[in-house]
Structure 1
Amino acid sequence: MKTSIRYTAILGLLIVVGSSCSEKLDPKPLTFSQVLTGTEKKIWTLKSLTIVDQKDPFELAGNQVLDPCELDDQFIFYANEEKKMEYGNGPTKCRTSEPDILVTDVWQLTNANATLEIGIPRIFGGVKLPFIVKTLTETSMVLEYYFGDIDASYRFTFTSSSK
């Protein structure tokens, strides 16, 4: 009887030790904000603007909205507690006297209604607006701003090659 109790105790101890050594795999999916910012920072460039007016959308390429020197401007979202955002000149400056970073601000993402609050300096003069996040992947982001008093919206498509 003592032998069977001893074997049962040893078997129980081995089971406890064996199960405590195994690492449980717990995959961590990217959060919405991490897709926006990457692990440290992520750079986005405006690709196109679609104007949706009276349910009749028409798309404008970036060069129809911005000057050639503005097309490579960059939205840089940082993955820090301050939620820092920079609007940078990109490789091509409109004037040689312009700084590399044109605007430093913060971004605000609300997951509940998929709203990203940012400013788009070259189009809205840097006024921060609540954009609805229509899609957000590693390389593409579509933001839409709805005008409440008229049946129209602006839809901005951004691309990113950084991770």
Structure 2
Amino acid sequence: MKRSLQITILFLGIIGLFAGCSEKLDPKPITYSQLLTGTEKKTWRLVTFEVIDQKERSGVIPVQNAINPCRADDQYVFYADGGHKFEYQNGSTKCTANEGDLLFEDSWALTNGNATLEFVIPIFEDAVLPYTIKNLTENSMTVEIYFDKIYADPIDVSYRFTFNSNTR
């Protein structure tokens, strides 16, 4: 009897040892900025756009069919650094033989409260504009610019841009 009590106590002690060693899992959700930049930097390519004019939609337009082919493969690089560095880089097709790899450099800003991403889409406008994030996943991003937010005149027009990324 004494022997079985010792074995039971020893068995319970071993079980308690293993139960006490379990690691507490503390998942950290991915933020908008992590989806945008990855851990260091993330490269995006503009693939489609759509014009929405007074609720009338143009339909999704592939970028390679609508703009100069040398701009259709350009890349938008968002860095996860403290300065929020942004680069607009040449793709494999260059517009001129002497054109460099880096076309434009600036910064980006993200406001989570209203899902606004401020950056430059050079083929649309050479200025930092506030784009509303419509969708942002690890591989796809859709942003929309509302003209009534950037111009004083009340105009019911917006452009929707979709980007894809192959980097993580």
TM range (shorter): 0.7 to 0.9
Partners of 2:144 and 2:123 in 1: how far apart? 16
Partners of 2:132 and 2:76 in 1: how far apart? 17
Q: Aligned runs of 1:36-55 on 2, under 5 Å? A: 36-55=36-55
Unaligned runs of 5+ residues in structure 1 are 1-14
Contact 1:133/1:141, CA 8 A, preserved across alignment: yes
1:153 aligns with 2:158: yes
Unaligned runs of 5+ residues in structure 2 are 1-15, 149-153
Contact 1:78/1:84, CA 8 A, preserved across alignment: yes
Structure 1 runs of 4+ with >3 Å offset: none
Q: Could you say which residue in structure 1 is the equivalent of 2:4?
A: none
Partners of 2:123 and 2:142 in 1: how far apart? 17
Q: Could you say which residue in structure 2 is the equivalent of 1:9?
A: none
Q: Deviations over 1:66-92 (max 9, x none)?
A: 211111100000111111110001111
Contact 1:140/1:158, CA 8 A, preserved across alignment: yes
- Structure 2 SS opposite 1:122: coil
Q: Could you say which residue in structure 1 is the equivalent of 2:31?
A: 31
Q: Could you say which residue in structure 2 is the equivalent of 1:109?
A: 110
Q: Could you say which residue in structure 2 is the equivalent of 1:137?
A: 137
Question: Percent of aligned positions with the same letter in both sequences?
Answer: 52
Partners of 1:154 and 1:121 in 2: how far apart? 14
Residue 93 and residue 73 in structure 1: after superposition, are their counterparts in 2 closer, same or farther (change >3 A)? Answer: same
Q: Please report how far the alpha carbon of residue 38 of structure 1 lies from its aligned counterpart in structure 2 after TM superposition.
A: 0.7
Q: Deviations over 1:107-132 (max 9, x none)?
A: 0000000000001112212x000000
Partners of 2:66 and 2:118 in 1: how far apart? 21
Q: How many aligned positions are there?
A: 149
TM-score, with length taken from structure 2: 0.82
Q: Deviations over 1:8-64 (max 9, x none)?
A: xxxxxxx8xx75x54321011111100000111111000111000010011322024
Question: What is the CA RMSD across the aligned residues, in angstroms?
Answer: 1.9
- Structure 2 SS opposite 1:44: strand
Contact 1:74/1:89, CA 8 A, preserved across alignment: yes
TM-score, with length taken from structure 1: 0.85
